[in-house]
């Protein structure tokens, strides 16, 4: 959620810190700040709102110093004001923090009783105050930092500057990610590789409980007991050149139009198109021997998992139970070892998903991770990683990550069907052939439907409530479409199973309620058309997303009918999500919202 950057450099670092923070904007934030050490003294600049406001502050009152830390804040404790913005200062200590200090109240009360004067409403300030009090008591920097980490509880990634330690940054991690980067005579600290990508691709990821003292010569890493530990250095996959909007107005638009290419990359990783077979991709999970599968994820990744469940059950005969990860982690369900588990996350750092993974691992399940960041915590802790080759996804509203997750799920379901004997070779070849055509069809759809959706979005923007309906995998796309519309346009939207219409939602239908029906001509088509007739009879405004066969078979009058090519049923979710994404995007653009960084939302939810 929040973003952290630290630089020990050979030139003034404030402008570099701001540039690095810009690459963390995709995480979501509502204020920002930087602090530097110069001639042994701390100084800082902070601003609420966007980074342009911080840049304005730095232009009028520049910061000197070759060592510094920066932060973008997503408010939890205290309003998003300049005073609550990080870094927080206390008696020569500067702290930035991502996460939540769960016992901040008791620490604050204890320090206040000893005379500490708190100046913010944040939980983070207790870290600065506590560390300063321990240094005041005569502890060394290392002793004080270790004692602080053993007192605070909760999720945190922390970066610290201390006056007198002019060439040093201290970092600590318990939950949210934190990476150390290596340069030539320079060192870096950041929430992810994207922030550090212009400086280095030589990275060490701290593990939970780690903390590190970083200076110009390198890094020393310790565990929570103060013992020195070794962590691997690795090359980051993220390329700085990729994080650019190109000729598009928004990252979200760029990422929608990248989908044919990244779907192709992901499918090629899993499928041998020349033989028409899925590669041997699941050696660590023997689908022939597991009797059921658990899936957990959050947000759009959860919807990818819902479609994956449909495919595993239909094509592999494998029972699947799927949960929102924030519920999964607390259900305390029995987990026999004959099960396996898959966890889906774009960032690979989603806190609830990671906690669910660890729960399953403790119970002896084989763990698979479908992630877009192969260096992430979820990837590192899984038994097998199923990568989605989407490249950096900057827009908060997930688009290309979803279609790549679906691509991976489709290949895994086919592999499971082959292993379990529910798919014969001819069926596998036909399914692979259908998948191989998906990127080309996706490109054709994106090139043809935009003008219609752009026009339709102007009409849709006049309404404050929208219903989405679908059956089977299209019910999942209805929920995903509703999520997209509400998160970037702020129009209230709900996705329902079309068969549930008469069990409540039909009460809302009138001439002021657009109903978006996702209904290709599949085995559910006739029943979904019956639900559309019920909407039409009550004056509902129907937006019909279908295929050529579906359009030919329907005579209902609609507000708009969006016609896609006929495709194999396996491929339908990959193609029918595209108009859903574009409609939400153009509606948000027309309404003038912040498409890439919608209010109150964060890209990577690294705390509960």
Which residues are the active-site residues?
A: 2, 603
Alpha helices, DSSP H only, in 78-220?
104-113, 125-136, 141-151, 193-196
Indicate the SS3 state at residue 78.
Answer: coil
| Sequence-separated contacts (24+) of 536-539 with Cβ below 8 Å | 538/506, 538/509, 538/510, 539/509, 539/510, 539/511
Strands (E), 127-270: 154-162, 168-174, 179-182, 187-190, 202-205, 211-215, 218-222, 228-229, 234-235
Question: Do 305 and 343 touch, CB atoms closer than 8 A?
Answer: no
Question: b/e string for 243-271 if b means 16 or more Cβ within 10 A?
Answer: beeeeeebbbbbbbbbbbbbbbbbbebbb
Alpha carbon distance 466, 542 (integer Å):
10
How would you list the strands of the sheet with 560-564, edge to edge? 492-497, 465-470, 514-518, 541-547, 560-564
Give Cα separations from 467 to 390, 539, 564 (angstroms): 30, 14, 21
Helices 572-591 + 473-489 axis angle, to 10: 20
Indicate the SS3 state at residue 85.
Answer: coil
Question: b/e string for 558-578 if b means 16 or more Cβ within 10 A?
Answer: bebbbbbeebbbbbbbbbbbb
Q: How far is C-alpha 594 from the chain's CA centre?
A: 17
Question: Do 168 and 213 touch, CB atoms closer than 8 A?
Answer: yes
The angle formed by the CA atoms of residues 272, 276 and 280, to the nearest 5 degrees, is: 50
Alpha carbon distance 7, 17 (integer Å):
7
How would you list the strands of the sheet with 179-182, edge to edge? 41-48, 31-38, 67-73, 3-8, 187-190, 179-182, 202-205, 234-235
Q: If residue 67 lies in a helix (H) or strand (E), which one and from where to where?
A: strand 67-73
Phi, psi of 205 (to 5 degrees): -95, 125
The pair of three-digit structure tokens given for residue 439, joined into one six-digit string: 């990127």
The pair of three-digit structure tokens given for residue 343, joined into one six-digit string: 């966890």
Alpha carbon distance 477, 496 (integer Å):
10
Find, among 251, 241, 232, 254, the residue nearest to 197 by Cα: 241
> How many residues can be counted in the chain?
608
**Residue 103: half-sphere exposure toward Cβ, Cα within 13 Å:** 12
Question: Do 514 and 468 touch, CB atoms closer than 8 A?
Answer: no
Residue 501 DSSP symbol: G
Indicate the SS3 state at residue 182.
Answer: strand
Give Cα separations from 476 to 304, 310, 360, 464 (angstroms): 8, 10, 25, 22
């Amino acid at each position: 959620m929040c973003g952290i950057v630290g630089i020990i450099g050979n030139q003034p670092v404030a402008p570099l810190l701001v540039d690095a923070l810009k690459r963390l904007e995709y995480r979501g934030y509502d204020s920002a700040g930087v602090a530097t050490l110069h001639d042994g003294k701390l100084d800082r600049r902070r601003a609420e709102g966007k980074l342009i406001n911080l840049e304005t502050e730095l232009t009028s009152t520049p910061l000197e110093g070759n060592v510094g830390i920066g932060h973008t804040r997503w408010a939890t404790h205290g309003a998003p004001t300049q005073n609550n913005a990080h870094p927080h200062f206390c008696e020569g200590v500067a702290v930035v923090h991502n996460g939540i200090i769960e016992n901040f109240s008791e620490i604050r009360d204890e320090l206040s009783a000893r005379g500490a004067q708190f100046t913010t409403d944040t939980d983070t300030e207790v870290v600065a105050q506590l560390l300063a009090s321990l240094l005041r008591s005569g502890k060394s920097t290392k002793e004080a930092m270790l004692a602080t980490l053993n007192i605070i509880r909760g999720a945190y990634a922390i970066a610290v500057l201390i006056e007198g330690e002019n060439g040093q940054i201290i970092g600590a991690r318990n939950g949210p990610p934190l990476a150390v980067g290596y340069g030539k005579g320079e060192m870096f600290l950041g929430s992810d590789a994207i922030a550090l990508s212009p400086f280095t691709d030589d990275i060490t990821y701290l593990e939970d409980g780690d903390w590190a003292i970083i200076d110009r010569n390198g890094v020393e890493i310790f565990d929570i007991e103060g013992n020195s530990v070794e962590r691997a250095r690795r090359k980051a996959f993220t390329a700085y050149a990729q994080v650019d909007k190109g000729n598009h107005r928004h990252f979200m638009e760029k990422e929608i139009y990248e989908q044919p290419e990244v779907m192709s990359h992901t499918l090629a990783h899993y499928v041998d198109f020349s033989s028409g077979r899925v590669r041997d991709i699941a050696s660590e999970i023997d689908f022939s021997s597991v009797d059921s599968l658990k899936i957990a994820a959050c947000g759009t990744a959860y919807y990818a998992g819902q479609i994956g469940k449909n495919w595993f059950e239909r094509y592999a005969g494998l029972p699947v139970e799927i949960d929102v990860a924030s519920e999964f982690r607390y259900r305390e369900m029995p987990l026999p070892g004959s099960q396996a588990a898959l966890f889906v996350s774009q960032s690979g750092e989603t806190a609830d998903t990671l906690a669910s993974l660890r729960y399953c691992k403790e119970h002896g399940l084989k763990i698979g991770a479908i992630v877009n960041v192969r260096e992430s915590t979820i990837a590192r802790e899984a038994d097998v990683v199923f990568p989605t080759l989407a490249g950096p996804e900057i827009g908060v509203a997930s688009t290309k990550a979803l279609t790549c997750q679906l691509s991976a799920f489709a290949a895994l379901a086919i592999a499971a069907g082959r292993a379990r004997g529910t798919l014969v070779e001819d069926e596998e070849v036909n399914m692979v052939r259908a998948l191989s055509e998906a990127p080309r069809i996706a490109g054709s759809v994106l090139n043809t439907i935009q003008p219609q959706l752009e026009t339709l979005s102007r009409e849709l923007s006049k309404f404050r409530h929208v219903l989405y309906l679908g059956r089977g995998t299209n019910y999942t796309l209805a929920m995903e479409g509703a999520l997209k519309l509400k998160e970037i346009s702020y129009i209230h939207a709900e996705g329902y199973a079309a068969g549930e219409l008469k069990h409540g939602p039909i009460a809302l239908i009138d001439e002021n309620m657009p109903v978006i029906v996702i209904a290709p001509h599949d085995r559910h088509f006739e029943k979904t058309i019956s639900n559309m007739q019920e909407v039409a009879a009550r004056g509902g405004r129907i937006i019909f997303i279908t295929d050529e066969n579906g359009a030919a078979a329907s005579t209902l009058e609609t507000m708009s009918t969006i016609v896609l090519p006929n495709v194999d049923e396996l491929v339908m979710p990959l193609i029918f999500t595209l108009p859903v994404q574009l409609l939400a995007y153009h509606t948000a653009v027309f309404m003038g919202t912040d498409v890439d960084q919608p209010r109150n939302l964060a890209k990577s939810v690294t705390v509960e």
